[in-house]
Amino acid sequence: MLDNDSNKSVKVKDFFKRNVIINELEDILNLKPDTLIGIDKVSSDTLGDYNIKNVGDLAKVSLENLPDVKEVPSSILIKWVKIAQVVVKAIKEQLKSHKKLLMIGLDNGGKTSILAVLQDRFSIIKSLLPTRGVKRERLDFFGYPIISWDLGGQVQYREKLYFNRPELFFTEADLLLYVIDTQDVDRFPESANYYRQVLKALKDLNEFPPTLVVLSKSDQDYRSSVEWQNNIKVIKNKFNQVTTEYENFSVSYADTTIYQKETIMQMFSEALKKVSDTSEIIENILEDFSHTIEAKSASLISMDGLIFGNYNDSDTDEALLNNTALIMQTLSNFHNSIGLIRETSMTLNFPMNGFTIQGEKLFNYSELQIPVYLWILSENPEMMYEKLDYFREQILPLINMFL
């Protein structure tokens, strides 16, 4: 069996204050709102006056038609409602055991190679053969259960297999990664056509998975060429146009090269955020936290390179913080591999630039016990310490429910 997921419903309990006793999951819907972490008793009683008497009621509040609750700012109410919705969804869903990831694109595009890099199987890349038909694989995906469906892109499969029985391949996908080789200019039109066929098949099945176009083979030297920049423009034009032909789809892009694993980790982080129920709440909390502690930028990153979320004043700050953090973590992994104890706090000072980049370990997540660090870019990093415990308490359940 592929299913060995731990019971997500147990993790639901982390959303509640420690003194709250939960016996039956169904009871959760009837608990008062202030049993949830972050909701105080006074606000909870006020919500009661608006007929929001328990967690179930809170989850049903319409975000489009938000009631004007006295003394509770709407931005905060929205956050509470979203958390209640996540809790309720997790209970009701009784859990699909895994997420389905579709990897689609022309032959030779780099799909199988990307999956190999993700799993640190670098040495198999040079001997990869074209994928014959579909290769299904359970991935150890940052500790989350995911099954990849790698659809070999050779023309015989595209023409004779997938579109004859689309329901066998395209249904119930949680995420579509469409891979295009940015170096293979001659085949851009063919690739855009295939992309169109895939969207059409999905639409006919009434399936609309979040979609990310992966701009593969964006190797470091090639990326800095004018040719690459032109190619990207051409690709985005074409693919945006195809996407608008199909309602309910939206598309974003991420470039990767197998020669820099971090590009692949960042691409998957972007993709997973689209699938996650909690990523938006995580980013809201990061934003609040950054304002409170006057940080310019903050990111939440696992030791294996998954970026759960970030908040930043500018794109430059984001790139500076994320790239620095990923490299510091690589360094920490190296130190750990030679037997040093992993430090819970890492600091890089930039005295001439007047700021500090600092990482603090928050907790371990998943059965693999992977450390998660909060990284901030700040002029006054010490401001974070007073608020860190509260932040940790709010974030932990959301990370556990990320996928």
400 contact, one of Mg ion, ligand GTP, none, CB 5-8 Å limit per kind: none
The Cα–Cα gap between 309 and 274 comes to: 11
258 binds ligand GTP (CB under 6 A): yes
Q: How far is the CB of 143 from ligand GTP (least distance, A)?
A: 24
Complex with Mg ion: residue 112 or 216, whichever CB lies closer: 112
Q: Which of the ranges 16-24, 106-114, 270-278, 386-394 carries the binding residues for ligand GTP, by CB under 6 A?
A: 106-114
Please say whether the beta carbons of 218 and 182 come within 8 A.
yes
Closest residue by Cα to residue 402 from 287, 315, 283, 318 = 283
Residues 6+ apart with CB under 8 A from 378: 293, 294, 295, 296, 355, 356, 358, 384
End-to-end CA distance of the chain: 20
109 binds ligand GTP (CB under 6 A): yes
The Cα–Cα gap between 332 and 342 comes to: 7
The Cα–Cα gap between 306 and 372 comes to: 9
Q: Residues 59-98 vs ligand GTP: string with x where CB under 6 A?
A: ----------------------------------------
Complex with ligand GTP: residue 76 or 232, whichever CB lies closer: 232
Count the Cβ atoms, other than its own, within 10 Å of residue 185: 13
112 binds Mg ion (CB under 5 A): yes
Closest residue by Cα to residue 213 from 244, 187, 182, 184 = 182
Beta strands 211-216 and 175-181, pairing class: parallel
Q: How far is it between the farthest Cα atoms of the chain?
A: 67
Q: How far is the CB of 127 from Mg ion (least distance, A)?
A: 12
Q: Which of 76, 125, 139, 161 binds ligand GTP (CB under 6 A)?
A: 125
Complex with ligand GTP: residue 219 or 360, whichever CB lies closer: 219
Q: Which of the ranges 31-39, 123-131, 227-235, 304-312 carries the binding residues for Mg ion, by CB under 5 A?
A: 123-131
- By CB under 5 A, the residues from 128 to 187 that bind Mg ion are 131
113 binds Mg ion (CB under 5 A): no
174 binds ligand GTP (CB under 6 A): no
Q: How far is the CB of 138 from Mg ion (least distance, A)?
A: 17
Please say whether the beta carbons of 372 and 365 come within 8 A.
yes
Q: How far is the CB of 130 from Mg ion (least distance, A)?
A: 6
Q: How far is the CB of 149 from Mg ion (least distance, A)?
A: 12
113 binds ligand GTP (CB under 6 A): yes
CA atoms within 13 A on the CB side of 129: 3
φ, ψ dihedrals at 312, nearest 5°:
-155, 150
Complex with ligand GTP: residue 44 or 131, whichever CB lies closer: 131
- By CB under 6 A, the residues from 323 to 362 that bind ligand GTP are none
219 binds ligand GTP (CB under 6 A): yes
Q: What is the contact surface with Mg ion in residues (CB under 5 A)?
A: 111-112, 131
